[in-house]
């Protein structure tokens, strides 16, 4: 029986072009399907805000775990990884190559190296902790697990809340879960698209402007109307990058150009955090991408490294 094709991981910070490269690589291989490792592109109501693959891209190559959930549904890394791993097995059974792409670090890690034994997210507790002022959540984490708090980015509400949730649900310090999780060998080769910061920032600025032109305000306005009518956003959906900035515009707190600038700033800050995480992932092979490089040229480098 032939060995099933290994998944190929195409990663990189938001705005680097990994989605387009993944589609181009899948077309070049001719028998590949894409599995998303993005925490927010699962929401069918937010395709513009989450920069989800276009209808044209999804028509060209089969995509999985994109626009498959409603905003009232919660998503977390462990749940998403289990779904992704099931998709990968099914793709392999069809004799095709799974291409995993996305920018949500923990989601990628669980798909590529196995799922941590730490307690899964609890929607009610997560919402309760997320409602706390950051200073209060930090104080509670420091009291419950001083060592874990010292190792946490205390400026990042998402990390503080998740780590506090783990400590409260598991009844053990963060170090216990870290020390008792032995990551598996990477499920397949991984590549990280690397762009010059100036180039990436310019791409992010263009994408923020394009979102405004494509109707992101109307998209969030519809979401707000649904929320007012009783559709409660899950904790995950409420954290979608850019949602707060567009909501501020809808509330009259800023002009449209100011909203676009704020959206670009938030995205640049997120990309910076992603780059920090990606640099720590030594299993990833960096793939430098210049502003003039085509997707096909980048794919040639990846295919050559994979001996495809």
* Strand (E) or helix (H) holding 63: strand 63-64
pLDDT for the residue numbered 141: 93
In a domain? residue 74: yes
Q: Which of 179, 195, 221 is the last residue of a domain?
A: 179
CB 138 within 8 A of CB 157: no
pLDDT for the residue numbered 290: 95
Identify whether residues 200 and 298 lie together within a single domain. Answer: yes
| Chain CA centroid to CA 143, Å | 30
Identify whether residues 73 and 192 lie together within a single domain. Answer: yes
Dihedral in degrees, nearest 10, Cα atoms 270, 158, 214, 66? 110
Identify whether residues 89 and 217 lie together within a single domain. Answer: yes
Identify whether residues 107 and 225 lie together within a single domain. Answer: yes
Q: Which of 133, 158, 179 is the last residue of a domain?
A: 179
d(Cα 237, Cα 224) in Å, to the nearest integer?
12
Identify whether residues 161 and 18 lie together within a single domain. Answer: no
In a domain? residue 2: no
In a domain? residue 3: no
Query: For position 35, which CATH number holds?
Result: 3.40.50.300
pLDDT for the residue numbered 1: 56
Identify whether residues 163 and 209 lie together within a single domain. Answer: no
pTM reported for the whole predicted model: 0.86
Question: Per-residue pLDDT tens for 122-155?
Answer: 878 888 888 889 999 999 999 999 999 998 888 8
Identify whether residues 201 and 269 lie together within a single domain. Answer: yes
CB 212 within 8 A of CB 204: no
Q: Which of 151, 179, 207 is the last residue of a domain?
A: 179
Identify whether residues 168 and 132 lie together within a single domain. Answer: yes
Identify whether residues 76 and 202 lie together within a single domain. Answer: yes
d(Cα 111, Cα 118) in Å, to the nearest integer?
15
Q: How many domains does the chain have?
A: 2
Identify whether residues 66 and 187 lie together within a single domain. Answer: yes
pLDDT for the residue numbered 218: 97
pLDDT for the residue numbered 153: 85
**Parts of the chain with a pLDDT under 50:** none
Look up the domain containing 272 and give its range. Answer: 8-116+183-306
pLDDT for the residue numbered 22: 96
Structure tokens at 293: 């490089």
Identify whether residues 87 and 207 lie together within a single domain. Answer: yes
């Amino acid at each position: 029986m032939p060995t099933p094709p290994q998944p190929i991981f195409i990663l990189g910070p938001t705005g680097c072009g990994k989605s387009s490269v993944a589609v181009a690589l899948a077309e070049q291989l001719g028998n590949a399907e894409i599995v998303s490792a993005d925490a927010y592109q699962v929401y069918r109501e937010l395709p513009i805000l989450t920069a989800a693959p276009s209808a044209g891209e999804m028509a060209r190559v089969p995509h999985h775990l994109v626009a498959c959930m409603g905003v009232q549904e919660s998503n977390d890394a462990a749940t998403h990884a289990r779904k992704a791993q099931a998709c990968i097995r099914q793709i392999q059974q069809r004799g095709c190559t799974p291409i995993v792409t996305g920018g949500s670090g923990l989601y990628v890690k669980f798909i590529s190296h196995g799922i941590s034994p730490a307690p899964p997210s609890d929607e009610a507790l997560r919402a309760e902790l997320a409602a706390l002022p950051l200073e209060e959540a930090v104080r509670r984490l420091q009291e419950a697990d001083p060592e874990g708090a010292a190792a946490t980015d205390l400026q990042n509400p998402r990390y503080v809340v998740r780590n506090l949730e783990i400590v409260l649900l598991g009844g053990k310090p963060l170090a216990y879960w870290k020390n008792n999780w032995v990551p598996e060998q990477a499920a397949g080769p991984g590549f990280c698209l690397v762009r010059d910061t100036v180039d990436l920032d310019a791409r992010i600025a263009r994408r923020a402007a394009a979102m405004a032109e494509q109707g992101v305000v109307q998209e969030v306005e519809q979401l707000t109307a649904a929320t007012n009518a009783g559709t409660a956003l899950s904790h995950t959906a409420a954290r979608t990058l850019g949602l707060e900035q567009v909501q501020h515009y809808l509330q009259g707190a800023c002009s449209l150009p100011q909203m676009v600038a704020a959206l670009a700033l938030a995205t640049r800050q997120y990309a910076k955090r992603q780059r920090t995480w990606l640099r720590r992932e030594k299993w990833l092979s960096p793939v430098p991408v210049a502003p003039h490089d085509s997707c096909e040229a980048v794919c040639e480098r990846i295919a050559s490294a994979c001996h495809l």
